[in-house]
Chains A and B, each alone.
Chain A
Amino acid sequence: MRSMGLRLAVVTSLILAACGQASTPVAPTTAGTTAEQPKPGGILTFVVNAEPPSFDAHRETTFAVLHPASPHYSLLYKYDPNDLTKITTDVAAAMPEVSADKLTWTIKLRTDVKFHDGALMTSEDVLATYNKIIFPPQGVVSARQGAYAAVDGIQAPSKDTVVFKLKYPSASFMSNLASPWNWIYSAARLKEDIKYYEKKVDGTGPFTFVNYTKGSVWEGKKNPDYFQKDRPYLDGYKAFFITDATAEVNAIKGKQAMIEFRGFTPQQRDDLSRALPNDLAIQEAPWICVNYIVPNAKRKPFDNPDVRRALTLAIDRWTIGDALSKITIVKDVGGLMRPKGPFAMPDADLVKVAGFSKDGKAAKDQAKALLTKAGVPTLTFKLLNRNLQTPYEPIAVALINEWKAVGITVTQDVKESSPYLADLAAGNFDVGLDFNCDFLDEPDLQLAKFYSASKLGKGLNRAGYDDTKLDSMIDAQSRETDAAKRKAMVGDIERYAMDEMAYQYPAPWWFRIIPYNNAVRGWKIGSNHYTNQDLTTVWLAQK
């Protein structure tokens, strides 16, 4: 225990020292912000820091599938590359026609879309695609099937029309139609082999598949039959798989790769800007990724809301968010919805929630009082954490430091990903650091972990509680189609889940930093690393 304390002290002082260091001032810049005429040609090279387990986006959950393979596919709708908060058409000819009762969604399709094998895309293909996603046959895994619980059935009344019938109005249905995971597959290919797309590629996207060397590179080349006649600008692209963080930075420094689309740490950004002072552009944005602090409600004393509330009250998120932003990929303080996002609780309201006050000392005094009231003034527990340096470990050290200030002694139980996930799933922890990443600001996605652990939250809610009141609140916001009312309902959920019951609560949210070779133009950062990856708008400036 002594040596653990010493280690923590050393690590904490390292963090504080790092916070005190003056890092190279780097102003985020965007290459080609002025209206430039896109130039055709060139091969984009980029890094992907993980490898796709299969090629099928319907079954996988990792961005490592989307980054190399999205350029081969189209979606029904997608997030507008020029304004990533808006949805625009992809193979759909127009936005959907929605019936007055909001239960029938009719979508007209383009009639000039071809698969890479030359076959014309029709409503049969969209129907087969969405049937595979929403009603997968036996033996087929669909990772996001649950997101379409509102869908009753899909029909293809004509070659250029698909109709979605819903059981109840769904506020998130439009966003889910623009999900970056819902690549349009060929009905004929799926009929030939429902698992065809796990190992092969045949899409309607702007780039055709050339080659994939496992562990090394994925290549695509311009699709001459792409339905947007003036796109894509690039002749092709190469995605290099590099899992070592230093090797990733070196690849960009050595100009072997131009960009990595997921994100770098502040130190890596500064390192690159020193190495490439005239060749680097930087884009930064708040990220829809967050680590949740999860007290195990099935273990004493964390079954006591006072103890859980004391844990969140002890954390001065505004201070640690600022400090951590200098050394890792977290920054902004927010509730259950992404800070600065469309559903974010205004700061004026947020500071009234336990753990979000700007008066850190008063909150810590309150935490101490609650711990004394609960009979555990000198609480001791283990914090289950993942052995990832970015951002898990620095976040944990900062939290432990905050808890120490109210008399709580915490030992960090750092585990490799596999046993860490196994322990989280089995409830084998006192307090755990869970995580969540989504492709859009959508309460249905971000609140999925808050459903009762034995009901809809099964396998997602690691805190282990059951709360029918919270379930009803989440269901109600999901069916509310008035945006303002829904936002208010989400606020109520946040206050209830993070403060009144203090079930689980976020650390400062992640912050996305993309330093890249400024020859890359036409790519805009979004608040997630899943959308805007089809490279339709990307072009290379001649240098």
Chain B
Amino acid sequence: MLPTLLGVAILTFVVMRLVPGDIVELRYAGGSVAPEVIARERHQLGLDKPIAAQFADWMGGVVTLDFGTSLWTNRPVVEEVQIRFGLSLELALLATILAVALAVPLGVIAAVRQDTWVDYAIRIFSIGGLAMPSFWIGILTILALLTLFHWSPPLEFAPIWKDPVANLAQLIWPAIAVGYRYSAVSMRMTRSSVLEVLREDYIRTARAKGASERLVVVRHALRNSLLPVVTVISLEFAFLIGGLVVTEQVFNLNGLGHLLVDAVAHRDYTLIQALVLIMAMIFVVINFLVDMLYVVLDPRVRYA
């Protein structure tokens, strides 16, 4: 875990320094600002220090969980992330709930009814989700809301515990847009995984014992086919927390993806480094949790 995070930290730090551009130049673009002012600002931000010294400063903070201060806003990075984390997490959770609620039952039905019209319909639905980018579905959703109802989602985020109606009015639409694509990926995986398990000897044995088809599918087939599905769902979930860059722009959501884009555009090194590291941490932690979940779902993993 630690070598992965260290690798991510070094890579992000180095790559950002290789990209041309300068936060101070950007900040004063277009203004009649004297070069001395720009030099003074660069010095204050520590950008005139050698790269190794900048890296040492940053890593010194990171090991004590001090991710530093945004170069653009001069506010603690943790504060910047905290504001957006709730929205990103809730959106990821909503999209995941929608995706799982669609993907698992439809994937199982498609597998059980393989090569019937039901299977074809579900496959068309899922391929549609894979073919259409989420942001495009998002744009269509907003256009439909504006055209049909002369209404657009609220611009301000209200936490769900404060105002659930306003919260859902804002987040349900991006959750549908993202959840559809997410469900398509999971649906395909569920279908193929269940199909594979349904051909196993122990399924034939269960049927031979006279177990009902429902019991065979739900208890024997579905549980054993869940490992790859859980992997896909969890990795998608981790991706959604920080990766919904374009969808967040389309719906004007104040999430982590939006923040990362702004940070890159501003060359806000400390914020970019911290965000990438935090996202890497989320991935690593979720991967770890999935590994733990494997043990629950399949005891053979524990014995191995």
Residues of chain A touching chain B, judged by Cβ–Cβ distance below 8 Å, are 51, 53-54, 60-61, 139, 141-147, 198-199, 213-217, 238, 240-244, 246-247, 250-251, 253-257, 275, 416-419, 421-423, 425, 435-437, 445, 448, 458-460
Contact = CB atoms under 8 A, between A and B. Distances in A.
9 contacts: A54-B74, A198-B74, A199-B75, A244-B249, A251-B252, A422-B25, A435-B30, A458-B35, A459-B34
Nearest to B32: A448
Interface string B127-164: 00000000000010010011000111111110000000
B26 A418 contact: yes
B239 interface: no
A425 B27 CA distance: 13
Interface stretch (B37-45, B196-204, B215-223, B276-284): B37-45
Among the interface residues B34, B72, B139, B153, which one has the most CB atoms of the partner chain A within 10 A?
B34
A275 B267 CA distance: 37
Among the interface residues B19, B28, B44, which one has the most CB atoms of the partner chain A within 10 A?
B28
Contacts, number: 141
Interface stretch (B48-56, B224-232, B257-265, B285-293): B257-265
Contacts of B152: 250-251, 253-256
B250 A61 contact: no
Among the interface residues B31, B250, B258, which one has the most CB atoms of the partner chain A within 10 A?
B31
Among the interface residues B37, B75, B262, B267, which one has the most CB atoms of the partner chain A within 10 A?
B37
Contacts of B150: 254-255
Nearest to A434: B30
A256 B84 contact: no
Contacts of B44: 139
Contacts of B22: 418, 421-422
A101 B165 CA distance: 67
A247 B37 contact: no
Interface string B1-45: 000000000000000000111110111111111110110110010
B232 to A, nearest CB: 30
Given A247-B249, A416-B21, A437-B30, A143 B37 contact: yes
A422 B73 contact: no
Among the interface residues A243, A418, A448, A460, which one has the most CB atoms of the partner chain B within 10 A?
A418
Contacts of B35: 458-459
Given A53-B73, A417-B21, A242 B252 contact: yes
B33 A215 contact: no
Contact of B259 (A215, A244, A422, A435): A215
Given A254-B150, A419-B19, 7 more contacts: A54-B74, A141-B37, A143-B33, A244-B252, A255-B152, A445-B32, A459-B33
Interface size class of B (residues with CB under 8 A): 35 or more
Nearest to B23: A418
Contacts of A257: 155
A213 B80 CA distance: 10
Contacts of B250: 244, 246-247
A51 B265 CA distance: 12
A242 B146 CA distance: 18
Nearest to A245: B249
B157 to A, nearest CB: 6
A26 to B, nearest CB: 19
Contacts of A51: 262
A244 B139 CA distance: 12
A263 to B, nearest CB: 15
Closest 4 CB pairs of A and B: A418-B21, A254-B152, A61-B31, A215-B254
Nearest to B84: A215
B83 A215 contact: yes
A344 B22 CA distance: 35
A268 to B, nearest CB: 14
B37 A142 contact: yes
Contacts of A238: 156
B156 A425 contact: no
Given A53-B72, A216-B157, A416-B21, A254 B254 contact: no
Contact of A418 (B83, B249, B252, B267): B267
Contact of B83 (A213, A255, A419): A213
Nearest to B22: A422
A435 B31 CA distance: 10
A254 B31 contact: no
Given A51-B262, A141-B41, A275-B146, A418 B20 contact: yes
A419 B33 contact: no
A254 B151 contact: yes
A249 B9 CA distance: 38
B145 A254 contact: yes
B173 to A, nearest CB: 12
A141 B72 CA distance: 14
Contacts of A146: 32-34
Contacts of A419: 19-21
Contacts of A142: 37
B251 interface: yes
A240 B25 contact: no
Contacts of A250: 142, 146, 152
A243 to B, nearest CB: 7
A251 B33 CA distance: 34
A141 B155 contact: no
Contacts of B27: 53, 60-61
A256 B41 contact: no
A144 B32 contact: yes
Contacts of B252: 240, 242, 244, 247, 251
Nearest to A289: B30
Interface string B189-215: 000000000000000000000000000
A169 B162 CA distance: 59
Nearest to B71: A53
Contacts of B29: 61, 417, 421
Contacts of B83: 213-215
A214 B73 contact: yes
A199 B30 CA distance: 23
Given A143-B28, A144-B32, A417-B265, A199 B74 contact: yes
A256 B250 CA distance: 15
Contacts of B75: 199, 214
A256 B154 contact: yes
A51 B263 CA distance: 12
Among the interface residues B41, B156, B250, which one has the most CB atoms of the partner chain A within 10 A?
B156
A241 B150 CA distance: 21
A436 B28 CA distance: 12
Contacts of A251: 152, 155, 252
Contacts of B153: 254, 256
A289 to B, nearest CB: 9
